Homo-oligomer: A and B are copies of this chain.
Amino acid sequence: MSVEAILNTHPRPLIADPAALAGCIDDCVTCAAFCTVCADACLAEEDVSAMVRCVRRCLDCADACTETSRIVSRQTDPDQRTQSAAIEACLAACRACAEECERHAAHHEHCRLCAEQCRRCERACEALLAAVGAA
């Protein structure tokens, strides 16, 4: 379920267009969940030694997405530098994870699905960065 409905009840003006904001939060929390599953699924593969880099990138991405979803969920007295830097950090983690998962997408379906979600989250972060800059 999207956070858009609850964001729209917030007493303060939102930091950006509600759809861009909710889209980024929704994609971040989904991406964190996908990366957590993918890291663990990679660990369970027979070729685990070939998946080490992928586990690592997925763990970083889950952490960055979780943190960023929390920081951009807050509308009260935001600090613009903290906000932008968090989105940038998430974007970098999504990109690095997508690149690695794409290398394994042909032989591990969880990597294919995870890469897709990372790319979706990367685009949502780019859209929110633009929307926040424009706000």
Report whether over half of chain A's contact residues are helix, strand or loop; otherwise say mixed.
helix
| A16 at interface, CB cutoff 8 A | no
Q: Kindly report how many copies of this chain are found in the complex they form together.
A: 4
Interface flags, A15-33, vs B, CB<8A=1, else 0: 0000000000110011011
| A5 at interface, CB cutoff 8 A | yes
| A43 at interface, CB cutoff 8 A | yes
Min CB gap A39→B, angstroms: 8
> If the complex has contacts A1-B30, A33-B3, A67-B67, are A40 and B86 also in contact, measured as CB distance less than 8 A?
no
Interface residues of chain A, those whose CB is within 8 Å of chain B, are 1, 3, 5-7, 9-12, 25-26, 29-30, 32-34, 36-41, 43-46, 48-49, 52-53, 55-57, 59-60, 62-64, 66-67, 69-71, 73-79, 81-82, 84-86, 88-89, 91-93, 95-96, 108-110, 113-114, 117
